[in-house]
Amino acid sequence: MACVAPAEACDCMGTPPLRASVAMSDAVFMGVVLAVRDSAESEWNGSRGVPVRIANVHVETSWKGVPADTVVDVRTGRSEGDCGFAFEPEHRYLVFAHGPVLKTGICDRTTFVRFERGLIDSLGVPMSQYRRPFKRHTKPRP
């Protein structure tokens, strides 16, 4: 007879109000995921032996913790069962991360930007924002 270990399940305590989420986060920013990779690290969210996925994110707008126009690595679990967030390359996210090594998961407010425009507006004026270089559409004067 085979013995099967019980499945790990993520148990979120509910999403705190926005101000509390910002206060509890070390970084709050909006950015585009450049790449996602599985890591050899095996500690996620305080649990050893849980595989880690790393999202490489270009920060476009920052409200806290990291400057805009930088690239940061954000760690998460590999599945929702271990509270991992399903980042996808070339998608834009609003990230609420914690720790000196940035981490986030489905229990944090991290979300796909398309669904949370009101939440972004509620964050107020950003600390820094990436502005693409101005492209001139006319020829410069000689």
Closest CA to 17 of 139, 122, 126, 112: 122
Domains of the chain in start order, with CATH, are: 25-125 (2.40.50.120)
**Alpha-carbon distances, residue 56 vs 16, 20, 85, 108 (angstroms):** 26, 26, 13, 18
pLDDT at 139: 44
Q: What is the pLDDT along the chain (142 residues), one digit of tens a residue?
A: 333 333 457 778 878 888 999 999 999 999 999 999 988 776 655 556 678 899 999 999 999 999 999 999 999 988 767 788 999 999 999 999 999 999 999 888 999 887 667 888 899 889 888 776 544 444 444 4
Q: Are 42 and 49 in contact (CB under 8 A)?
A: yes
pLDDT of residue 43: 62
What phi and psi, each to the nearest 5 degrees, are found at residue 5? -70, 145
List, in order, residues 6 or more apart from 9 with CB less than 8 Å away: 81
Whole-number pLDDT of residue 79: 77
pLDDT of residue 115: 64
Q: Are 71 and 54 spatial neighbours (Cβ–Cβ below 8 Å)? A: no
